[in-house]
Structure 1
Amino acid sequence: MLLFISYVILLLVDGTKTDETNTETDLALDKPASSSSHIIHPPQAVNDGNTGTTWGSNSCFAVQLADYDPWWQMDLQVKVKVTKVKVTARSECCPERLHDFSIDVYQEQPSNSAPKVCYFYSGSVSNPGETVTVTCSRPVTGRFVRISGKNKLNPEDVLQMCDVQVFGVAISTHFDSCASLVQYKQQHSTKTPLKTISEGIDNTAACAAACERSESCTGFSIRHLPATVCELLQGEISPSLQADVTWDSYVYQGCFSVCE
């Protein structure tokens, strides 16, 4: 039987946490990416942490010549209030191919939801390797960020870029103001833990507190005997649960959509 543990979270965690040098966190780094088409380098080349700006550096992406409705997108995997996006052009050739593009944010897969416009960039990038910082006309909340080319100038013109970074506030499900923890007794997740904690955790509340402090944590599994072990989990958890008498699992369940 499911046990609901409800409580109110009074503070939202800012996804753009800063370190001592006030460096912003790129929420797009290593997130799943896809595209309408691609040439040689996969969509993931744009946000894999390789900041090279030449085709030979394997960090640039381009769609196929015959693609007349080009787009590139990433799944941020959590709901994010997007405030700005940085897009970098290729340096040794054709920076002007980065032109007239729209940046849109979607709550769900773009095929199932309507776009929210972050910004429409009009004109072309003229400087080789230039990084364009686009601030959203207004912050928009969603999970998927898509960059779409809107004006194919000639048959040789393609949507092309070498790096994309996304900044904003990551909003985890368990920070909804009426979120609940759902308990699954004697069940253990088979997912690879986000983090395993075996020291300083001696009860369920302590494990839950550790999960709350992590933006990516969507639930946890805890074992009490012979020693307490807390496994923080991320993503979809319920399908991964399997019977195990030595463990209990808890999954955050949101109850409303974040207001714009």
Structure 2
Amino acid sequence: MIFLTFSLLLILVTSDAEPQNVALRGRATHSTNVGSPSAAINAIDGNTDPLWARGTCFSSQSELSPWWRVDLLKTHKISHITITNRGDCCADYINGVEILIGDSLANNGNNNPRCAKITAIPLAGTQTFQCNDMAGRYVNLIRTGISGHLTFCEVQVFGVPLNNCYYHT
């Protein structure tokens, strides 16, 4: 009788490539929006124009803890996130926002670990937040415990995909 023993070693491979804006290929959703032209996808269209009337920004309805999320379609190692605020009004609608990254959709992804908290971004301002290679498929922006609108014009998520696993025998 011959016994064969196989041992499998699972190896997770990451790319050495430079981080790119992986949000451009993602799918965006939100708790609510105020209707056209403020769809969630506007915030990942690659257009940093800060004027809401041009249809390049996102805005939620006024609600408690409004949130926005991009699904990157697979887990990425995220180095940093750059956010462009509106330029026509409402600069404070981004104040207090938490940037969350993870693989869970529990509570719409709003239970994932925090990368950063936005204090303020000026009108038409752009700010970058370092995430130190946090891994996740979902990036959420949420105004936790704050009642009001959530609005911004672009979210750029710079990262590299965690490649598929392969088995070594």
Normalising TM by the smaller chain, what interval? 0.7 to 0.9
1:159 corresponding residue in structure 2: 150
Q: Does 1:178 align with 2:167?
A: yes
Instruction: Supply the distance in 2 between the matched residues of 1:10 and 1:141 (Cα, whole angstroms).
Output: 12
1:98 corresponding residue in structure 2: 94
2:135 corresponding residue in structure 1: 141
1:89 corresponding residue in structure 2: 85
Give the TM-score normalised by the residue count of structure 2: 0.81
1:71 corresponding residue in structure 2: 67
Q: Match for 2:96: what amino acid?
A: D
| C-alpha contact (below 8 Å) 2:84/2:152 kept by paired residues | yes
Q: Secondary structure at the match of 2:100?
A: strand
TM superposition shift of 1:11: 6.1
Give the TM-score normalised by the residue count of structure 1: 0.55
1:49 corresponding residue in structure 2: 46
Q: Does 1:80 align with 2:69?
A: no
1:186 corresponding residue in structure 2: none
Query: Which sections of structure 2, spanning at least 5 residues, go unmatched?
Result: 1-7
TM superposition shift of 1:60: 0.8
Q: Which has the higher contact order (CA 8 A, sep 6+)?
A: 2
Tell me the percent identity. 26
Deviations 1:92-120 (A, max 9, x none): 11222211111111213244875122112
Larger Rg: 1
1:13 corresponding residue in structure 2: 15
Q: Does 1:168 align with 2:159?
A: yes
TM superposition shift of 1:150: 2.8
Q: Match for 2:60: what amino acid?
A: V
**1:142 to 1:98, Cα distance in 2 relative to 1, 3 A:** same
Q: Match for 2:155: what amino acid?
A: V
TM superposition shift of 1:51: 2.1
Q: Match for 1:81: what amino acid?
A: K
Q: Match for 1:128: what amino acid?
A: L
Q: Match for 1:49: what amino acid?
A: G
- Mapping 1:107-256, distance limit 5 Å: 107-111=103-107, 114-121=111-118, 123-125=119-121, 127-136=122-131, 138-150=132-144, 152=146, 157-173=148-164, 176=165, 178=167
TM superposition shift of 1:50: 2.4
**1:92 to 1:145, Cα distance in 2 relative to 1, 3 A:** same
Cα RMSD for the two superposed structures: 2.6
Q: Which runs of 4+ in 1 moved over 2 A?
A: 6-12, 108-114, 176-180
| C-alpha contact (below 8 Å) 2:20/2:160 kept by paired residues | no
Q: Match for 2:66: what amino acid?
A: P
Instruction: Supply the distance in 1 between the matched residues of 2:87 and 2:46 (Cα, whole angstroms).
Output: 17
Instruction: Supply the distance in 2 between the matched residues of 1:105 and 1:142 (Cα, whole angstroms).
Output: 5
| Paired residue total | 159
| C-alpha contact (below 8 Å) 1:91/1:130 kept by paired residues | yes
